[in-house]
Amino acid sequence: MNANLNPLLDFSDLPRFDAVKPEHVTPAIDALLAESRAVVARLEAPATEVSWESFVEPLENATEKLGRAWGIVGHLNSVADTPELRAAYNENQPKVTEFRTSLDQNLALFQKYKALRASAAYETLSPARKQIIEHALRDFRLGGAELPDDKKQRFAEIQEQQAALSTKFSENVLDATNDFALFIEDEAELDGLPDDVKHAAQSAAEKDGKTGFKFTLHFPSYFPVLQYAKNRSLRERIYRANATKASELGAKPEWDNTKNIADILKLRAEEARLLGFNNYAEVSLVAKMADTPQQVIAFLEDLAKRARPFAENDLAEVRAFAKKELDLDTLEAWDITYASEKLRQQRYAFSEQEVKQYFPEPKVTAGLFRLVQTLFGVDIKPDSAPTWHKDVKFFRIEKDGQLIGQFYLDLYARAGKRGGAWMDDARGRRRLQQGVQTPVAYLTCNFSGPVVVNGVARPAFFTHDEVNTLFHEFGHGLHHMLTQVDELGVSGISGVEWDAVELPSQFMENFCWEWDVLQHMTAHADTGEPLPRSLFDKMIAAKNFQSGLQTLRQVEFSLFDMHLHYDYDPYSNKSAQDVLAEVRHRVAVLIPPSFNRFQNSFGHIFAGGYAAGYYSYKWAEVLSADAYSAFEEAGAAEGNILSEQTGRKFQREILAMGGSRPALESFKAFRGREPNIDALLRHNGMTA
């Protein structure tokens, strides 16, 4: 099919989002699958010489095209969901999964990679190419290439079923989120809610042709209700709706993810057994820094032990405050965020809402770009490209006048867009005959958008947490875009161990707490004045407010994930809910109500690639905090935390290297030693 007729087949430059339609998906994917299969058939023939140029490159070329086209479809399915697009995605996902599984199981290709690994030519290859070959051999083994034919067929069926179930899991969460609407007519019921939250709710109601205020389960809409609404029953209604979405207690039985969870866990356990592993956690860890499930559990339990006294203190404080100041004798789940915000305001004499008035989107993005330009010696400039929504912006990154990367910025929550924040790659860096193909990234968040108040347009304003989120995702983007590796399989984030991939993202969050950074990215909504130093000092004083509780919450999710995939029998009478209850009994100080179905929307592990890997956030935080302490040391020595010398070293040893060497080697090259946990505990205020 002609690329002019089908934009998904046009690889000449950036995706043509303005031209892609659901009816393009099937013809494009069919054509690319046929092309890829033809290449595979040619390469698996005995006569093919085994060299990098004659074997690895042609295979990479064919699969990259398929990956890019399917990546566009998958991205649109996440950010611009329609019934037609969803149908096209679901029709083609099994075909793509089947092809990828057949590739992973192809014994002829596996033997050729082994022959290349054993050849004299292997020793002449660059470290990056050697790493790609090692990863390929590992992935063939994990993909079932060595299984007998009958087991290969079952393995392939498992992959298809898992992919379909994960997609259904995501769709159920999205549908349940989009379906919920709470309309409030009487503004008196919204006492305590900030004006900008009410304006957004009013605007949402107007878009539906209704009066009053509309609240949804999109985070920027429901969370401020939990945080600020004095109306306790309103808080309970929205908490309960969010805590039961996509469950048997939710709005529609067809969106219940309970059976999807059970089926996914059974399939993962079966996959592990077929491959000769004891459990799925062992499979997951093969490609990670951590060696065994026991090592991860020990790491998490040690962190829980260190955090617990701080968490117990956090909870005792908020309970005592709620009783004395708010007349709340018992603190229910829907009271905690509200009481905590009131306690924070009393203790530190400011509110998150007060801070939010200083962070307009244009100043925040300009400040972020300024930081990146200072640390890494690059320029970020507006650029133009077709996009999937009018709110999406596009930028380019240059170094010494040369284009090195580009990115889409899609910041606002809307219907048809899945929740959360993420970075994904649209295209990876690689060297081609005509020059270097530069990387392109998608950076996606779900913040409140600009609003029109009394006929006056106001830009989006961000909470400080949202500023953190933006910096986090941009860190992933930098990892992808500032790579200097020319081999696709290990450039940018490709080939990086999953439990190290959060290092650059969490590293970037630290700068959101630096005066030298924040003072350049603030302007008050009404006065235009920058953030006062006195308010910044209060923010710093409150930085580790309830960090014990937050740490235990992340440990709880991580242990739940690891135990589900390590020592839980999915064929037993015990449910995932029972496993979560056991973990909470062991490590949590705050137990949610019995109706809470958190796991039914835990997309990270059931639809997002973090299965037996959610611990990565805490594991990588050890690395990121330790890496950031190099900037603190430079700041103490040079009087400037934005040390260009340290920034260039971080870029050279971590960002530029991508997956071309083990993450621990990159960390040691930057830090000069092994990582330790001290900086993490210090940054979280959890030292004696």
Q: In terms of domains, do 32 and 142 share one?
A: yes
Query: Rounded to an integer, what distance in angstroms lies between the CA atom of residue 613 and that of residue 287?
Result: 10
Q: In terms of domains, do 52 and 80 share one?
A: yes
In a domain, 440, yes or no: yes
pLDDT at 452: 83
Q: In terms of domains, do 141 and 209 share one?
A: no
Assign residue 563 the CATH number of its domain.
1.10.1370.10
pLDDT at 1: 59
Q: In terms of domains, do 297 and 247 share one?
A: no
In a domain, 449, yes or no: yes
Q: In terms of domains, do 342 and 311 share one?
A: yes
Tell how far CA 541 is from the center of its chain: 28
Residue 625's identity, in one-letter code, is A
Query: Rounded to an integer, what distance in angstroms lies between the CA atom of residue 216 and that of residue 179?
Result: 8
In a domain, 438, yes or no: yes
**Phi, psi of 153, rounded to the nearest 5 degrees:** -65, -45
Query: Rounded to an integer, what distance in angstroms lies between the CA atom of residue 14 and that of residue 392?
Result: 15
Q: In terms of domains, do 89 and 35 share one?
A: yes
pLDDT at 456: 86
Active site residue 236: no
Residue 332 CB neighbour total at 10 angstroms: 16
Assign residue 124 the CATH number of its domain.
1.20.1050.40
pLDDT, tens digit, 9 for 90 and up, residues 284-306? 999 999 999 999 999 999 999 99
CB neighbours of 345 closer than 8 A, spacing ≥ 6?
351
pLDDT at 130: 98
- Edge-to-edge strand ranges of the sheet holding 402-412: 379-382, 393-399, 402-412, 440-447, 422-427
Q: In terms of domains, do 37 and 117 share one?
A: yes
Query: Rounded to an integer, what distance in angstroms lies between the CA atom of residue 588 and that of residue 301?
Result: 11
**Domain boundary pick from 614, 649, 672:** 614
661 and 131 in contact (C-beta within 8 Å)? Answer: yes
Counting the structural domains of the chain, the total is 4
Category of 435 on φ-ψ map: left (φ > 0), alpha (ψ -120 to 50) or beta: left
Query: Rounded to an integer, what distance in angstroms lies between the CA atom of residue 437 and that of residue 482?
Result: 13
Query: Could you give the C-alpha distances from 581 to 550, 574, 575, 585, 638, in angstroms and in order?
Result: 18, 11, 10, 6, 50
509 and 453 in contact (C-beta within 8 Å)? Answer: no
Q: In terms of domains, do 306 and 217 share one?
A: no
Assign residue 506 the CATH number of its domain.
3.40.390.10
pTM over 0.85: yes
**Domain boundary pick from 254, 283, 299:** 254
Query: Rounded to an integer, what distance in angstroms lies between the CA atom of residue 451 and that of residue 441?
Result: 27
pLDDT at 2: 72
In a domain, 675, yes or no: no
In a domain, 624, yes or no: no
Sequence-separated contacts (24+) of 47-55 with Cβ below 8 Å: 48/112, 50/112, 50/115, 50/116, 50/119, 51/116, 51/121, 52/116, 52/121, 52/125, 52/129, 55/112, 55/116
Q: In terms of domains, do 240 and 276 share one?
A: no
11 and 68 in contact (C-beta within 8 Å)? Answer: yes
In a domain, 645, yes or no: no
Query: Could you give the C-alpha distances from 31 to 9, 69, 240, 485, 672, in angstroms and in order?
Result: 9, 11, 47, 30, 49
pLDDT at 4: 79
pLDDT, tens digit, 9 for 90 and up, residues 203-216? 999 999 999 999 99
Q: In terms of domains, do 339 and 436 share one?
A: no
Q: In the chain, how many H helices and how many E strands?
A: 26, 11
DSSP 518-531: HTTS---TTT-PPP
Spot the catalytic one: 60, 473, 487, 621. 473
**Domain boundary pick from 234, 254, 274:** 254
DSSP 460-519: -B--HHHHHHHHHHHHHHHHHHS-----GGGSTTTT--TTTTTHHHHHHHGGGG-HHHHT
Residues of the domain holding 211: 180-254
Query: Rounded to an integer, what distance in angstroms lies between the CA atom of residue 277 and that of residue 283?
Result: 7
In a domain, 19, yes or no: yes
Stretches where the chain sits below pLDDT 50 are none
143 and 106 in contact (C-beta within 8 Å)? Answer: no
Q: In terms of domains, do 275 and 193 share one?
A: no
In a domain, 677, yes or no: no
Q: In terms of domains, do 296 and 395 share one?
A: no
Give the residue ranges of DSSP H helices in 125-257.
Answer: 127-142, 149-179, 195-207, 219-228, 232-243
